[in-house]
């Protein structure tokens, strides 16, 4: 098992309210040349949590930080004009908190971050440090 010391939160950068599946993201990432979906977990609009890439395998989500991290993506993150917006539903917020707690328990000492802490991006469209 690789060493995990970070959990990094992303958004799918898809418009508020639009359902997107692991299968969709997997297809987009393969089109970008990845072997498969780059995230380990995906949180749907209804708060259900779906597995992406195996946690045993390094993700493809945060340049320079993939080797030792888990990547989580929630569906949404922009408004209908594709501007950054915290579109998380109440169910997604709850699911993110639970998933992060579970992963911190599984990988003690792990810190939690937003993609925007490592790249000049709005992703995940909310302040992870004040919330998680």
Minimum distance of Zn ion from residue 124's CB (angstroms):
6
Closer of 1 and 34 to Zn ion (Cβ): 34
Strand partners, 78: 15, 84
Catalytic residue chosen out of the listed positions 10, 29, 61, 85: 10
Pick the closest to residue 67 from 129, 5, 114, 131 (CA basis).
Answer: 5
Closer of 43 and 123 to Zn ion (Cβ): 123
- Residue 39 annotated among the catalytic residues of the structure: yes
CA distances from 131 to 34, 50, 51, 93 (A): 30, 22, 23, 10
Closer of 29 and 115 to Zn ion (Cβ): 115
Minimum distance of Zn ion from residue 32's CB (angstroms):
13
The phi, psi pair for 72, rounded to 5°, reads: -115, 135
Catalytic residue chosen out of the listed positions 50, 93, 104, 121: 121
- Residue 3 annotated among the catalytic residues of the structure: no
Query: How many other CB atoms are there within 10 angstroms of residue 53's CB atom?
Result: 23
Q: Which residues bind Zn ion (CB under 5 A)?
A: 10, 115, 123
- Catalogue the active-site residues: 10, 39, 115, 121, 123
């Amino acid at each position: 098992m690789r060493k995990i010391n970070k959990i990094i939160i992303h958004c799918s950068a898809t418009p508020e309210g639009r359902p997107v599946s692991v299968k969709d993201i997997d297809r987009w990432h393969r089109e970008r040349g990845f072997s498969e979906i780059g995230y380990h977990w995906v949180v749907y609009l209804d708060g259900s949590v779906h597995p992406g890439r195996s946690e045993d395998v390094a993700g493809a989500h945060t340049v320079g930080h993939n080797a030792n991290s888990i990547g989580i993506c929630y569906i949404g993150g922009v408004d209908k004009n594709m501007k950054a917006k915290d579109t998380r539903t109440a169910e997604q917020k709850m699911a993110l908190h639970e998933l992060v707690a579970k992963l911190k328990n599984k990988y003690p000492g792990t810190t939690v971050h937003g993609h925007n802490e490592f790249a000049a991006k709005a992703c995940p469209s909310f302040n992870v440090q004040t919330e998680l």
